[in-house]
Every structure is written in structure tokens, then in C-alpha cells.
Amino acid sequence: MSFFFKSFLLSSFLIFVNITLNAQQVNLNNLFLSENIRFNQLGFYPNAQKIAVVSADSLTKFEIITAKENKIVFSGNLQPSTNVALNGKKTLIANFSDFTKPGDYIIYIPDMGYSYQFSIKNDVFADLAKGTVKAFYYQRASMALPEKYAGPWFRNAGHPDNKVLIHPSAATEKKPTGTIISAPRGWYDAGDYNKYIVNSGITTGTLLSLYEDFPSYVKKINLNIPESSNKVPDELDEILWNVRWMLCMQDQDDGGVYNKLTNAFFDGMVMPEITKLPRYVVQKGTSATLDFAAVTAQASRIFRKYETQLPGLSDSCLNAAKKAWDWAIKNPSMSYDQNSMNNKYEPKITTGGYGDRNFTDEFIWAAIELYLTTQNEKYYTAVNILPDERMPLPSWNNVRLLGYYSLLRNEAALKNNQKTDAEIIKKRLLKMANDFIEGASSTAYQTVMGKTNRDFGWGSNANAANQGIVLIQAYQITKDKKYLDHALSNLDYLLGRNATGFSYVTGFGSKTPMFPHHRPSAADRIKEPVPGFLVGGPNPGKQDGVALPSMVADEAYTDSMNSYAANEIAINWNAPLVYLVNAIQALQYECGYSKN
């Protein structure tokens, strides 16, 4: 008989004695922490749904016990899930939504063990909400991060980007190969140190949209960043670090925007100040230019209210947006094909491509943002805003919904055709949300995310967050709480109620990624990775060739530094998480999850 089994029997006996002597208390000595009890590791709002999913067979009961004295405060039955998980097995569901008392707790399952500790309280995601935005501060290029703001992750400045070379692919008569331009600031894109306009586009648009949807909430966020004492909301200050870089990526001669600012090849896993490789701006493109136009048009609208603090910024953004638009109208199909570019020019560029070939969605997004900011119908009528009925979940190469969201959030100001279009989009968005939630409660993890294998490609965790945003838009339109409940279920998914038991955000949760594919996290002297980053998540595609513990779609994840296909971080994955968690925080009182 193994030691563990003996201690298991002994502890069962002790529990029996304990429960007999004192029905209210559980003795956890000699019991095991079980990673098979999966739930949101940060916890729950007092009046929100509370679900843990247990990966096991034939257990019947669960108890909620206090974290300190292990007193039983709630008992329930485990219910088998209606459907099997993607691995073919049913799970057991512990639903303790009826238990609403704030405090710190543990889930105890007789014959299995106990869970991580969690909280029930108002504002339960406040630190995460801030931390996911603060993550962008840690990605800032061209500045040092002092300890005062960065804590243990302080570091020197990297990539000043004030002497950037025009790559031959971007050369013009006025700016021939080797011309030096300055394009400092911006966020490092992901685990690498390059800066890509296409991926910055969706990221910055998503972050601006959080402000546009919840301005009074966002104004209260204090990030402890160098700009925290100015009179601009910190989230906007953080966004501005990237917008100011983006503005430098436009060629003032013609309005076109370079695809990226990059090394010729990826840096090693070193700190940012170590790398001194030449930096280039590479080839202008239609996607980059239209994403730029959309972001700067939206930024112009938002920063108009901060004219006193940031004089001239709103106008600069709008002028940049108009010039970019005009360039794209003249160059409507300039794709970025890195391989064919490398056949023509030296040095060859082998960093991220973000090569998009379909510009319908970028035209829609830019047209809507420019129309909303200028009220000039020429932008709106220049493209077919509703070319078909599709509602593609946002990704770096498909930004159609970002335009649709903006149209809906500014609906009150619409007239004529725009109003009619908004009504059509609203119906489609609600259908999309209804399709998401249909059957979600019958799944093994009771989440919208993971209903099918199709949810699990590269960056699957961002899909979960973007599905959450769709559901929040549906809630905003209808004020029907069911949509918000399902958005929250996807946040629960990301924070631990899933097939791997990971909370996928660095530094937030009990079992979190420790080895993300992220150069500063790998190269600094700190054991804990830089906090607040969403890793890509389960992806059976294995594009990096790193072995995975399972090829079941929702289990295809490994916490390995080499796994850029499952464990990298990226700004376009963090942004929808920022939106999801902050929107839920903003709505927690309105919808009754928390009460004053």
C-alpha cells in the first residue's frame, strides 16, 4: 500500500471523526490540493454565477469551506455535465451560485481533495483589470521602466528607434534606401521587440473602444505610470504611447503607412537594451494604412475632449487619418507578401509578417471611424459597409466588427442610411451572440468558449476574450443579463475553468504561466514573468514544433518558453482581455453582480 493511499485512508478516517465530532469543520491535513477542481482562480462577485468544474468520475458532493478555519458554509451535489468535453469525457459541475457571502474560501470534495483558495467579493477583478492594462506599460519601447512604476520588473530603455532606416521595399524618390527617419515609442508587439502597424491597429482600436464605451469607469483607473499625475485618464495615456509611434509611421509625402518597424531578423532571448541591430521601416501597405486611418480617426474623436491637456493632438490625428484614407483609395490592394518582397530586396526581413490579402474589412472599419469623426458621408458611401451577412470574430486580419461596434456605440447620432445599417448590424450581432450562448450551459465547462474544436487556433485565448466582447455588446444593446453572464463565463474560462486548469494570465491566479514566450520575462533576473499578460493558449497547430501534453484541442497547451504557438504573449491578445475584464468591472453594479 502506497504512502499516499495510506495517508488518504487515514485522512478519510480523520474527516469521518472530524465530521462526526463537529459537523461544521473539515480537517485538510493530509489531504491533497487537487488541480482537477477548475474555476476562476481569482474568485467571484457575490451575486454572480459561481461554477467549478471537476474533472473526475463518480464523486457526488462538494463543500465550500472557509479558507481560515475550514468551516463548511455551503454543501452541494456534483452534477454530471450534459455533454462530454472535447476529450470525450463528461465533467462534474459544482454550482454554488446561491452562496453569496463575501470572504475567502476553498472548495472541498470528499474523496478527492481541496482546491486553491478564492475570494467572493465586490470588485473581485479590480487588480486584474488594472494589471492587464499595465502590461502595455511593460511593453513600451524607447524608454526605461524605473522601479517606481515597474516594481521588480524595472529595466533599462531599449530600441530608441530615432535612427530608423528606410528599407529598399519602402524607398521613394524623396526617401531613398537608407534614409534615416525617427519613429520612437510604441509597444513591442509580443514576445519579440518589433512593432507592426497591422497588429497595433486592432489592439489600439480595442483599447480606445473600452474608453468610448465606459468613459467614467476608465477615468478612475490609476495605473501608476509616469503620466498618472496629469489630467488625462491613464488608459488613454498608455494608448497615446502607441498612437504617437503610429503617427511617425506615416510617410508625410504621400500619406501611406509602413507595415512595420523591425529588425531584419528576430533578436535572441535578451533584454531590450542588449540588442543593437539596425531597424528598418518596411513597405507601405493597404491594411496598415487603413488600420492606421481607423485608429487615428477614433483617437481624434476621443482626444478632442482633451484639447486643453493635449493641444493639437486631435487635429493631428484627424489629418493623419484623412491622408491615410486618400492613400488607400489610390492604393486599394497593396498586400504585404514578405516572401515575394524578400526575393527582390536586401536585407531579407524574416520577422512577423501579418500579411493580409483581403482589405474589405479594413475599408469598412476606416470608413466608419472617419465618418463618425467627421460626419462626412463621403467616407461612408465610398465602400460597401454591408457586403454580406458575415460577422467575423475580430482578429488582426479581420477588423470588420470593430467598425460595426463603433457604429452601434454612436448610434444615437446616426441618420438616414447609417441608422438603417445600424439596425441591420444590431440584428446580426444579436444573432451571433445567441448562437454563442446556445448550448453553452450544456458543455463540459459551461462556457461559450470551447463549444467546438474550431475555437482553438493560434491565440485561442483571444477568441475567448473577443467572444466575450460580442456578448458585452449584446448586453449593451438589450440590457439582458444573460449575455453578460456568458461573457463572464468566458472570463472564468480564461482564469481557470478550462481543460488545462491554468489561469492563462501571468501573475493572476494560483496556477499561471511561468515561462511565457516573452523576451523580457525570459531574460530578466526575476523568477516571476512580467505580470498581466494573456498567453496564446491551447492550439493543436503546433506551428513551433514544441511537444504538447495532449492533442485534444482544448488541452493542447504547454507552459514552455519555446512554444510561441501556445505560450507567447501579444498585444492583440491582451487588448480584448483588457476590454472584457474592465467592461465587466464597469457593469458589475448595474447588472447586480455586486451591491453597494
Tell me the closest approach of the beta carbon of residue 529 to Ca ion, in angstroms.
Answer: 6
CA distance 154 to 417: 52
Whether 486 is catalytic is no
**Interface of this chain with Ca ion, residues 278 to 317, rule: CB under 5 A:** none
Tell me the closest approach of the beta carbon of residue 238 to Ca ion, in angstroms.
Answer: 9
CA distance 353 to 562: 19
Tell me the closest approach of the beta carbon of residue 230 to Ca ion, in angstroms.
Answer: 5
CA distances from residue 526 to 155, 297, 327, 571 in whole angstroms, order as listed: 11, 40, 46, 22
Nearer to Ca ion, 26 or 129 (CB): 129
Residue 268 burial (10 A CB sphere; 0-12, 13-18, 19+): exposed
Q: Which of the stretches 2-10, 163-171, 451-459, 524-532 binds Ca ion when contact is defined by CB under 5 A?
A: 524-532
Nearer to Ca ion, 424 or 526 (CB): 526
Length of the chain: 596
Applying CB under 5 A, among 192, 213, 238, 361 the residue interacting with Ca ion is 361
Tell me the closest approach of the beta carbon of residue 222 to Ca ion, in angstroms.
Answer: 8
Coil, strand, or helix at residue 199? helix
* C-alpha cell, 193: 521587440
Tell me the closest approach of the beta carbon of residue 524 to Ca ion, in angstroms.
Answer: 5
Applying CB under 5 A, among 373, 521, 585, 588 the residue interacting with Ca ion is 521
Q: Is residue 227 a contact point for Ca ion (CB under 5 A)? A: yes
Tell me the closest approach of the beta carbon of residue 227 to Ca ion, in angstroms.
Answer: 4
CA distance 578 to 445: 23
Nearer to Ca ion, 78 or 505 (CB): 505
Nearer to Ca ion, 48 or 225 (CB): 225
Q: Which of the stretches 26-34, 350-358, 547-555, 558-566 binds Ca ion when contact is defined by CB under 5 A?
A: 350-358
Helix (H) or strand (E) holding 261: strand 258-262
Nearer to Ca ion, 230 or 340 (CB): 230
Spatial neighbors of 324 by CB under 8 A, at least 6 apart, are 250, 255, 256, 257, 289, 290, 292, 293, 296, 366
CA distance 358 to 387: 13
Whether 173 is catalytic is no
Convert 161-193 to b/e letters by CB count within 10 Å (16 or more is b). beebbbbbbbeeeebeeeeebebbbbbbbbbbb
CA distance 496 to 492: 6
Map grid coordinates 501571468 to a residue: 506
Applying CB under 5 A, among 170, 232, 249, 465 the residue interacting with Ca ion is 232
Planar angle of CA 303, 309, 313, nearest 5 degrees: 45
Whether 559 is catalytic is yes
Q: Is residue 199 a contact point for Ca ion (CB under 5 A)? A: no
| Secondary structure letter of residue 415 according to DSSP | -
H and E: helices and strands count for the chain = 17, 14
β 280-284/164-166 pair status? parallel
Coil, strand, or helix at residue 492? helix
Nearer to Ca ion, 99 or 154 (CB): 154
CA distance 425 to 431: 10
Tell me the closest approach of the beta carbon of residue 24 to Ca ion, in angstroms.
Answer: 43
Q: Which of the stretches 163-171, 379-387, 389-397, 497-505 binds Ca ion when contact is defined by CB under 5 A?
A: 389-397
* C-alpha cell, 106: 476553498
Q: Is residue 237 a contact point for Ca ion (CB under 5 A)? A: yes
Nearer to Ca ion, 37 or 294 (CB): 294
Q: Which of the stretches 129-137, 236-244, 476-484, 506-514 binds Ca ion when contact is defined by CB under 5 A?
A: 236-244
> Site for Ca ion (CB under 5 A): how many residues?
12
Q: Which residue out of 356, 517, 554, 555 is catalytically annotated? A: 517
Contact 523, 270 (CB under 8 A): yes
Nearer to Ca ion, 398 or 446 (CB): 398
Applying CB under 5 A, among 213, 234, 544, 554 the residue interacting with Ca ion is 234
Of 334, 118, 292, 214, the closest CA to residue 581 belongs to 214
Nearer to Ca ion, 187 or 336 (CB): 336
Tell me the closest approach of the beta carbon of residue 235 to Ca ion, in angstroms.
Answer: 9
Q: Is residue 526 a contact point for Ca ion (CB under 5 A)? A: yes
Applying CB under 5 A, among 18, 373, 397, 567 the residue interacting with Ca ion is 397
Planar angle of CA 226, 293, 389, nearest 5 degrees: 120
Applying CB under 5 A, among 22, 358, 434, 453 the residue interacting with Ca ion is 358
Q: Is residue 421 a contact point for Ca ion (CB under 5 A)? A: no
Q: Is residue 235 a contact point for Ca ion (CB under 5 A)? A: no
**Amino acid, res. 154:** F
Tell me the closest approach of the beta carbon of residue 336 to Ca ion, in angstroms.
Answer: 11
Binding site for Ca ion (CB under 5 A): 227, 230, 232, 234, 237, 356, 358, 361, 397, 521, 524, 526
Catalytic amino acids?
Answer: 517, 559, 568
